[in-house]
Amino acid sequence: MKSYTINLYRAILMSCLLLVSLVVQAQSPETEIRNVIDQLFTGMRTGDSSLVSKSFLADATLQSVSAGQDGSIRIQKDAIQGFIKAVGTPHSSIWDEQIYGVQIKVDGPIAHAWVPYKFFVGTTFSHCGVNSFTMIRMDSGWKIASITDTRRKEPCIEP
C-alpha cells in the first residue's frame, strides 16, 4: 500500500509538471511578440548588444520620421548593425525607452506592434513618439523585421 501511495504521488507530480510545461510552451503569439519587444528594450537599458541582436532579423531595417522646423518631413534610415554596435558601446547614461499602450495585431507569420514610448538618457527626458514594429515568425521564433519610429519633444501620447 505504501508503494502504491508513493507511485500515485509521483504520477500526480509528473502530471502537474507536464501540464505546467505545456501551459508555458503554449504562449499566445501576442505574448511571444511582446517578449521580443521587451527583450530589445532590456538590452538597450543594460547595454547588452547580444540581447538586442537576438531580437532582429539579420537584415532588419530602422527608420525615423520627424518634422523639421519648417514642417518638412525627414526620414532617417539606419543600419541595424550600427544600432546594435551603439547599444553595446559603453555609454555613461542608461538608455531607457519606456513603452506603454502596446497594441499587437497578428496574421499568421506576420505581425505589427504599435508601441508609444518616452525615451530617457539616464533620468533626463530626451524625446517621445511611437515605434511601429513589423515582426515575422521564423523557425527560431518572432523577430523584428523593421522599426519605423517618430521622434518629437512634445506632445507625447500619454499612457
- Are 39 and 54 a contacting pair, CB within 8 Å? yes
Beta-carbon contacts of residue 24 (< 8 Å; ≥ 6 apart): none
DSSP state string for 93-116: S-EEEEE-S-EEEEETTEEEEEEE
pLDDT in tens, 84-98: 999 999 999 999 999
> For residue 134, what pLDDT is reported?
98
In the 8-state DSSP scheme, what is residue 156?
A: P
Q: Is-above-0.75 flag for pTM?
A: yes
Alpha-carbon distance of 21 to 139, in angstroms, equals 20
Q: What is the pLDDT of residues 9-65, one digit of tens each?
A: 565 545 544 454 444 557 999 999 999 999 999 999 999 999 999 999 999 999 999
Peptide bond before residue 155 is cis, with ω within 30 degrees of 0: yes
Q: What average pLDDT does the chain have? A: 89
pLDDT at 155: 87
State how far Cα 85 lies from the chain centre: 18
Which residues contact residue 123 at a Cβ distance below 8 angstroms, ignoring those fewer than 6 apart?
A: none
149 strand-pairing partners: 64, 131
Q: Is pLDDT at 5 greater than 80 in this prediction?
A: no
pLDDT the model gives residue 15: 53
Q: What is the pLDDT of residues 103-148, one digit of tens each?
A: 999 999 999 999 999 999 999 999 999 999 999 999 999 999 999 9
Q: What pLDDT, on the 0 to 100 scale, is given for residue 16?
A: 43
The domain made up of 27-150 is a member of CATH 3.10.450.50: yes
Quote the DSSP letter at residue 145.
E
In this predicted structure, what is the pLDDT of residue 84?
Answer: 96
Given a cut of 90, is residue 3 above it in pLDDT? no
- Cβ neighbours for 26, distance < 8 A, ≥ 6 positions apart: none
Residue 12 CB contacts under 8 Å (≥ 6 apart), including other chains:
none
Which amino acid appears at position 131 of this protein?
N
> Which tops the pLDDT comparison, 79 or 13?
79
Q: Go through the chain and tell me how many residues it has.
A: 159
φ/ψ of 140, rounded to 5, equals -85, 0
What does the domain layout of the chain look like in residue ranges?
A: 27-150
